[in-house]
Amino acid sequence: MELLKKIESKQATLGVIGLGYVGLPLAVEFARAGFSVVGYDVDAHKVAELMAGRSYIPDVPSEHLAEVVKSGKFKATTDAKALAAADIIDICVPTPLRKTKDPDMTYVVQAVDAVAAVLKKGQLIILESTTYPGTTVEVVQPSLAAKGFKPGVDFYLAFSPERVDPGNPQYQTKNIPKVVGGINDDSTRAAVAFYEQVMDKVVPVSSPSVAEMVKLLENTFRAVNIGLVNELALMCHRMGLDVWEVIDAAKTKPFGFMPFYPGPGLGGHCIPIDPFYLSWKARQYNFEARFIELAGSVNGAMPEFVVQRIIDALNSQKKSLNGSRVHIIGVAYKRDVNDLRESPALEVLELLAHRGAIVSYTDPYVAAFKHASLDLQHVDEAVAHQSVDCGVIITDHKVFDYAKMVDRFPLLVDTRNALKGVTRPNIFRL
């Protein structure tokens, strides 16, 4: 196979479609390993920033990006025709849900159309976007085969789920094991050889559908267990028990227990979304994914519970939510990242504003944002407390000085156990 020779000698050119949290780290890693990489994105601003050597992804240092741009190993473009130079094309586009919780494959279809326009014999096409089992074979393959090329012979096709964890310094693109499933042995062999040039470990599986299911299992496992512990948090609140103390004691068991933690809801592009891809696919087989649906219901109700705890806190001082000034501390979906996708803070803010609260926020990772009717800018916490009735810890960034918050805010609702071990009359917990 000629492609294998080009991969092993690093003479193969990589094309990456989608330069976000998945595509950009992948592109830069391969460029730093010596491959020529063409990154394609429809966002002209992103492309301009990248070509100036400025990274907008925290996990990709600007110095690493600038290095590969300067060397000519990485080029970003808004011209899909540039993908014609690629021997390998990796699709890393979003796969959101529709309002009906059905998969929205718009971006995948658009990406596949772009690939089909430049498809040539001997190319390897890899889909990394999280999706339901069967997508690679049912959606991607027919579109490419329509060009008159025989799948697995004239071109190679595989699925390899992205497994990035933004903001995790321990596990990043290079050292997260890479699961790969091709449509035939040659496709799997080519994809494995490709990823082995950069990744520490590659795990081949028997088919794209297995690889697609792997990612959904991983995130469904997390969503269901988070749903369980969120329900436990609600139960403990009714019983007057500290759920955090319960979990800390339970996790001392050295076997048979894995700690999960409650919170204000689910955020990020994966965990709130991926299980519903699986649930949707299961319905096509007349199978009801009851755990997934129940976990979704429990997790989706947590922002409402947070608002109720804010109301409880304000009531303790004979104040109503309507007209009160409520300050959200941390709006990113998780600690130490700048990513707002599906952040529970957004729903909490919406609910508060809808009920008449005057809202503001502090997040050093998010300078400003617009969402629904909200148009807000970061307010430094050191001054924000001077004019609010209640602070709410939604995202527990490490940079926050929680000890000072306890003294500064007249009321403080803690949804993340950031104030562990601190007992004050002004503190209200999840």
Catalytic residues: 270
Query: What does the longest C-alpha to C-alpha distance in the chain come to?
Result: 75
Query: Could you tell me the CATH superfamily of domain 2-206?
Result: NAD(P)-binding Rossmann-like Domain (3.40.50.720)
Query: Which of 387, 423, 420, 419 is CA-nearest to residue 405?
Result: 419
Same fold, 2-206 and 227-429: yes
Fold of 227-429: Rossmann fold (3.40.50)
427: β partners: 412
DSSP-derived letter for residue 51 is H
| Pairing assessment for the beta strands 124-127 and 88-91 based on DSSP bridges | parallel
pLDDT of 218:
96
Q: What is the pLDDT of residue 386?
A: 87
Number of neighbours of residue 224 by Cβ within 10 angstroms: 19
**Domain residues of the chain, as ranges?**
2-206, 227-429
Tell me the pLDDT of the chain (430 aa) as tens digits.
Answer: 899 999 999 999 999 999 999 999 999 999 999 999 999 999 999 999 999 999 999 889 999 999 999 999 999 999 999 999 999 999 999 999 988 888 999 999 999 999 999 999 999 999 999 999 999 999 999 999 998 999 999 999 999 999 988 888 899 899 999 999 999 999 999 999 999 999 999 999 999 999 999 999 999 999 999 999 999 999 999 999 999 999 999 999 999 999 999 999 999 888 899 999 999 999 999 999 999 999 999 999 999 999 999 999 999 999 999 999 999 999 999 999 999 999 999 999 999 999 999 999 999 999 999 998 999 999 998 888 888 999 999 999 999 999 999 999 999 999 999 999 999 999 999 8
pLDDT of residue 101: 85
Nearest to 26 by CA among 201, 159, 212, 174: 174
